Structure 1
Amino acid sequence: MKNSNVAVVKCGDYDSEKVFFSIKEAIEAAGDFPDVYNKTVLLKPNLLYPVPPEKAVTTHPAVVEALIRIVKERGALSVKVGDSPGVASTESAGRKSGVKEVVLRHDAEWVDFSDPALLEYKQGVVQKQFFPAKVVLECDVLISLAKLKTHEMMYFTGAMKNLFGTIPGLNKSRFHFNFPEKEDFASMIVDLNGALNADYAVMDAVVAMEGAGPGSGYPKHLGFIAASANLLALDAACASIVGYDPLEIPIFQEALKRKIWLNSFEEITYPAMQPAEVKPETFKKVKILKDTGFIKKILPDFVFKLVKDLYVPRPFFSKSKCIGCGKCVEICPPDALELQGKENKRKAVVDYSKCIRCYCCHEVCPVDAIRIGRF
């Protein structure tokens, strides 16, 4: 079990030198940074889709730049940076977010997560095989560079959920289809984290995302960086800073049961700043709902569908905002969406009888045309 230190350090803006020294301070305080000397290091930022860094959808390029400099200072043989966005190309997400520019400027390697390879995990609870990008399995050291954001389906996304991006492209949709309930999807994410066994994580919380994350929320200045060798400890600490009870986040609940990262959230220690020192006065969270899996087991299918429609928020599509790009249709796991209408005026239309409420459509919509709600 990795140490439970989470170092929280203030960082007021994305000035590259400020970010660099803040991350160095956090790493030194947290301890247990992996030995990267003469090794291949893969940095995995969150590049959900192609937007400028000011939108707070992606890990800021200054954070990626700082980690490249740090691992190079420590003698890394090779530094690779990559991700697999939901529907957009890695190339477009890298360029628009500004991440690819800093990667090339510092002579690191920009990699595309397009070639899957088998990864077996016999200890998996719901998933014993994964097919992450081959480059992920070939690296010696894996570091998750997460963006602190809310998440409509899982409530919070950080270092652990960020590793779902190691699964190439639309292959991620299959997992949403196979695990539509929050608890099952959380178990799959924990299995993936167990299989990948990332070495370290850094949280970009200088500017986070509140509201309807992970793609359609709003930037929220928090002014801190956090680092830890323990991904669950890091995520739980950051979630509590913005007002979540870690025990209510499905991924954290499941990870805690496994006793791989922590036995209790009370084990988390803070060798730098205390959480209260960076806690915001306000932060718009995604409302916590109880999982519907137990209801599904005891009700007839037609009754469950009625209950689900009333209880579980669903996506609503704005015809005035929709540009007919088709990204939501492309990513939808159960094929519940289609574009209808005349050429150049096509709009997304949803079949709620097929919709599994995974909110993938909401994540990838580039124009905020999808609202999640009950009515």
Structure 2
Amino acid sequence: MTEGNFVDYVKIHVSSGNGGSGSSHLHREKYVAKGGPDGGDGGRGGHVIIRGNKNLWTLFHLKFKRHVRAEHGGNGGKQRSTGSDGSDEYIDVPLGTVIRDTETQEIIHEITEDGKEYVVAEGGKGGLGNWHFKSSTNQTPRYSQPGIDGQEVDVTLELKVLADVGLVGFPNAGKSTLLSVITAAKPKIADYEFTTLKPNLGIVQYRDYKTFVVADIPGIIEGAAEGKGLGYRFLRHIERNSTLLFLIPADAPDVKEQYEILVDELRRYNPEMLDKDRLIAISKSDMLDAELKAELKNELDKSLKADYVFISSVAQQGLTELKDRLWEMLNKKPA
């Protein structure tokens, strides 16, 4: 999937169908001059339904579909025949999609299961035919109910990537390079900041045909929680990851400081994200000789209150240990 095809945010105007009108028909046939009311009910208007689809990974198919309208219900007919129900309109979305009210920004629903359906706009109820209103004192009512109008709603669909491990780091920390080495993903890689503008997903092939999914997410800058840089557009994608892998280059001025900035951005965005399991990967460690690595390790053991591993994506160093650690974290038994 190319970066331009990854769409994780769309706004849609949805309209459900109007209910059909009830009929005011009076029964007539050759030998029945005054047969009384026999007008049927109107049919229900079609719903607009959002449905989870595990085969979708993006909202790209909705990028140019700004309006979704369901069918109106049919009108009632003679001989108490009910009008046809309007056909429902389905919007398939990938798992992990959040439905918001565009006007209030309130979360309406979240789609996290395949085949799960949510009626975002209910079709209008059909009106009653005139035969419902006959009585001993009103034997030939010449009126019926009109159908109820459908609903019109503006909704925003936001995709929060469903992955086991989320890669967190500053721009140009080597996240895309790591993903390209440990998975079959082919993210855009270049020597400048914000090369990655959309999340990339890759499947890590572990031992004995076991797999887990890693998401490379656009880099954090200070102030991301307030919307700077790519802001919320990236932060929402790591809400669903069960484990966070912090990637900090070995040539960073201060590894501990960078880690604390990253953690603080997550805390300011959503404090619950600090409850996730964390692992730090010191990337580009092939630049360090044995003496520098020992010195850095000694420093990190004193100052860093988190587990870490040394890796190099280019030199293929420490990657097996990294996969082992991530697999243990993903499959550890709850206390």
Structure index of larger Rg: 2
Answer whether TM exceeds 0.5 for this pair.
no
TM-score under structure 1 length normalisation: 0.21
TM-score (norm 2): 0.23
Q: Which has the higher helix share?
A: 1
